[in-house]
Amino acid sequence: MVALTLIGLLATVVSRAPAGAALTNVGGACGFHLGPPLETGAAGTLGFEFPAYPADPHQVCSVTVTGQASLDPVAGPAFTNVAGNHGTATFTLQFTGGQLPPGILWLWRPHCADPAAAGVVTLTIDGQTASSSVQPPASCLADLGGSSSLSFDFVDPSFAYYVVGLAPTHDGHGYWGVWPSGNVRGVGDATQPSPLVALAATVVGAATDPSGGLWVVGADGGVFALGGAPFFGSLGGLTLNAPVVGVAATPDGGGYWLVSADGGVFAFGDAGFFGSMAGSTLNAPMVGMAATHDGGGYWLVSADGGVFAFGDATFFGSMAGSTLNGPVVGMATPDSGGYWLAAHDGGVFAFGDATFEGSAGALDLVAPVFSMAGTPSGHGYWLSGAGGGIFAYGDAGFFGTIPQP
């Protein structure tokens, strides 16, 4: 009997352009494509967690498919001593309209009957494949038994390896990447804050405190102040009409706003409330927000590229009504009037005085973009790929990928 696990918080490797053509979707009307796996392991077990990226990150649907796992040698004859090799299982993938894709876990238990040659683990669904890196022959651990097997198995869903929030340090010489599980990793001059504990909901974003530190926000509206950032309140424990999807800080660091998927805006500290889209009919859910440079207003952005301006925020245009290769996932502001929008495929759109500094839209990304952040100077921006890959443009410095938890 093959055990199956579908998990909503899976991992993948750093974004990169594949050597071949762009990936195509399988699954029909509920389309998706496989990403390369994160490789994990414990004593006697290697895990290969394959994300299933939906054709539209906001689609709500399910599809039943059959997957086949195989362990094949890089060279030489096929392995004959791996139980369950080239085995199949039928399962249903559920897409719930959230940012995080579901995924499929294959486990290889290499014991004393290990293949003696290097091999690659591959998952195949409807003719589409995704493969691991080359796996060297494993050591023989006699106390773990005498058989080697490849199968589906269960995994703790609290493991999450998608960077859903990116926050630069106040001087722009580093950045923090935030994972849905609440793990925060600093790169460059971003100091490593204390880990978050006892989270009630998935983390969805982060914002920089101008005086140092950062705020991290969960889908339930809970706010965590890290690295010396002051706490001004949160929505944690309250019943919300829609999950929180983003956070923006006031210019002086004296407060912050939260935005929910239905366009609701919540102000804390010295952040002023200038209006929201709550109660309005939206063509697509909100995915993020950005504040004006004097703190007297803010913009909200939806997945279809629609932009909504409040307070002293000026509307400079949007992508609403345009055909996008990937939904919009976030926004950032330059040092003058305007804003950038970032899409799931790495595309960047500049409005107002925002200067287009480049994008990853021409690349065939294996791991899509999930977040965007502007530099403190306002002359550049970063995009973050799902597995911690960083794309730097303008005066944004590259300080390394975001380490996985």
Please tell me which residue, 113 or 281, carries the higher pLDDT value.
281
pLDDT tens-digit series, residues 62-91: 889 888 988 888 888 888 778 788 888 888
Q: Is residue 401 predicted with pLDDT exceeding 70?
A: yes
Contacting residues for 141 by C-beta, under 8 A, at least 6 apart: 43, 44, 111, 112
What sign results for the dihedral spanned by CA atoms 308, 271, 166, 97?
Answer: negative
Q: Give the pLDDT score at 5.
A: 29
Mean pLDDT of 278-285: 88
Q: Is the pLDDT of residue 390 over 80?
A: yes
At residue 147, the pLDDT reads 60
Residue type, 22: A
Percent of residues, the chain, with pLDDT higher than 90: 40
* Equal fold, 6-152 vs 165-394: no
Domain boundaries, the chain: 6-152, 165-394
Q: Residue 1's pLDDT is what?
A: 27
Mean pLDDT, the chain, whole residue set? 82
Judging by beta carbons within 10 Å of its beta carbon (0-12, 13-18, 19+), is residue 116 exposed, middle or buried?
exposed
Q: Which two tokens stand for residue 196?
A: 């978050």
Report the C-alpha gap between 185 and 258 in whole angstroms: 22
**Pick from 52, 58, 21, 30: which is nearest to 125 by CA?**
52
Q: Which residue has the tokens 């967690």?
A: 49
255 CB contacts (<8 Å, ≥6 apart)?
232, 249, 267, 268, 269, 270, 271
Which carries the bigger pLDDT value, residue 222 or residue 4? 222
Sign of the C-alpha dihedral computed for residues 332, 177, 370 and 247 taken in this order: negative
pLDDT bucket at 45, cuts 50 / 70 / 90: confident
Indicate the class that CATH gives domain 6-152: mainly beta
Determine the pLDDT at residue 236: 86
Q: Among 1.20.140.10, 3.40.720.10, 2.130.10.10, 1.10.10.60, name the CATH number for the domain at 165-394.
A: 2.130.10.10
**How far is Cα 263 from Cα 241, in angstroms, rounded to an integer?**
10
* Structure confidence at residue 146 (pLDDT): 55
User: What's residue 267's pLDDT?
Assistant: 98
Q: What is the pLDDT of residues 367-376, one digit of tens each?
A: 678 899 999 9
Q: Does residue 219 register a pLDDT over 70?
A: yes
- Residue predicted with more confidence, 159 or 214: 214
* Bridge partner residues of 174 (DSSP): 188
